[in-house]
Amino acid sequence: MIESFVFYLALVMVIIFAIMLAKKLKIAYPILLVVAGLLISLIPGIPTIKIEPELIFIIFLPPLLYEGAFQISWKELWKMRGVTASFAFIIVFLTAIIVAFVANSYIPGFSLALGFVLGGIVSPPDAVSAGAILKYVKIPKNYSTVLEGESLLNDASSLIIFRFALVAVATGQFIWQDAALSFSWMVFGGVAIGLALGFIFLKIHKIFPTDVNMDVILSLAAPYVMYIAAEEVHSSGVLSVVCGGLFLSVRRHEWLKTPESRLKGFNVWESFTFLINGIVFLIIGLDLPEISEGLKNEGIGISEAIGYGLIVTAILIVVRFIASYVIVLTLLLVRNFINVADPNPERKSPILFGWTGMRGVVSLAAALSIPVTLDNGLPFPHRDLILFITFVVILVTLILQGLTLPALINYLKIPVETPYHLSEKEASLVLQKGMKDVALSYLSENFRSDQDKNLYIKNMITRWQKNEDEESIFTLSEEGKEIYFATMEKQREWLRKETRDNPLIDEEVTRHYLLKLDLEEERLRIE
């Protein structure tokens, strides 16, 4: 028991060191973690990490999806909904179909149903990998929104394909009418359950008294409740978590009512998802020896399996490139008939989108969740080969595309600034002026008669008139602090309204100022 604890503690330290090294080298940390896991797995005597297949999705997916839904801007996602849906659904379905037919044609003994199992596994690009890489380069906001939104929704479409394919492998048949009904229930049921549970969690926070610890724990429990509840009734747990997370994200100031809850929740979630992502990518590398050993039982050589993996990887890259060009050409065509979010897409953008198809967490989780045996007790056909091909796809796309993507973005020189958003500097000036006007208006309307006799009220008005920064805050009495906190709450309300109503304001800039207000209020409360 002690040896196991020491081993897992050592893995955590490896994760931390690999991510620190990745930041030092300015490369995406998933790449180093996969390589680190692969190197560790080659050390003699290293224990094999085994996770029950049915627990893979439950442990890793809900918090990662929920955190992604909380980070993305609903306003931007809705604006780019057409392009995002095309990448998340149409391209995923198209990719899975092509992979299925190619695998059925080129891999001996690979049925079409097994091809769809493989296609469902490898079709969705990974959000974590792209997000880690894009931290070091700048791309237009609407492009990053598409990539983030695609990664939230494509998990649902790929896993639906994957699960239908598993049923077809197990039963040997595929009934289209039943599949259509099941698909409809998985989509609409998942969305409805996620929104309903999000509403319930919101009401719990409004009706019952909660403290900071309860708020954080409830936020950790929410994605698991949403996922499990949807899966129990055979709908999409992924869509449930994404929709519930988006619902609560838009209402985060109603749900996490105090600055302390929001700040602590942010810190806990950042650390939690940091660890989960690290574990998953490390497991990808650690699992290779066991997967390779399983190939021997199927009578397939390593070089042959690598060849299949490279063929599938090439298909994924080519299909995504072609589909990216088709989407841009479609936008250029339909803009003549309807309003589109981006009527003048950058001509180089398909190259960027085509090269951001790194695979990762979801593909690994799906592959590992394949049952070892069928319901009749027979081994699941070609399970180890599917696992190995998935590993090759993840490794090659992470290293090949992940290492070259920053250089490609710099080479393309796609303008970061777009006419659809103010620059960060311009947006900051608009928000600062609005916050100042709100503060002056609130203080003047409610405390005009108190200005002469209450020095702190007069000083607050003077501060906002001069647009002074936080360092110039004077010492406030307790009464003055409460007035100041009320003023800050008015500023928060205005910032949230400006985010909704002003299409030129990037929500990331607004969130920066909301965070500054929370930090300032917390600092004053503990003084």
Gap between the Cα atoms of 316 and 314, Å rounded: 5
**Residue 379 β-bridge partners:** 373
Residue-wise pLDDT tens digits, 84-96? 888 888 899 999 9
What one-letter code names the amino acid at 486?
A: A
Model pLDDT, residue 468:
55
Place of tokens 């692969």: 38
Model pLDDT, residue 244:
94
Model pLDDT, residue 471:
45
Model pLDDT, residue 472:
47
C-beta of residue 39 within 8 angstroms of C-beta of residue 285? yes
Gap between the Cα atoms of 412 and 352, Å rounded: 8
Closest CA to 19 of 234, 209, 276: 276
**Residue 373 β-bridge partners:** 379
Report the sign of the C-alpha dihedral through residues 357, 361, 362, 365, in that order: positive
Listed in sequence order, the residues at least 6 apart from 439 whose beta carbon sits closer than 8 Å to its beta carbon are 460, 464, 487, 490, 491
Model pLDDT, residue 300:
80
Gap between the Cα atoms of 201 and 249, Å rounded: 12
Model pLDDT, residue 449:
60
Model pLDDT, residue 293:
75
Ranges of the chain whose pLDDT falls below 70: 1, 50-54, 127-128, 131, 134, 136, 172-179, 336-343, 419, 448-477, 527
C-beta of residue 214 within 8 angstroms of C-beta of residue 177? no
Residue-wise pLDDT tens digits, 424-437? 888 888 888 888 88
Model pLDDT, residue 240:
94
What's this model's pTM, rounded to 2 decimal places? 0.86
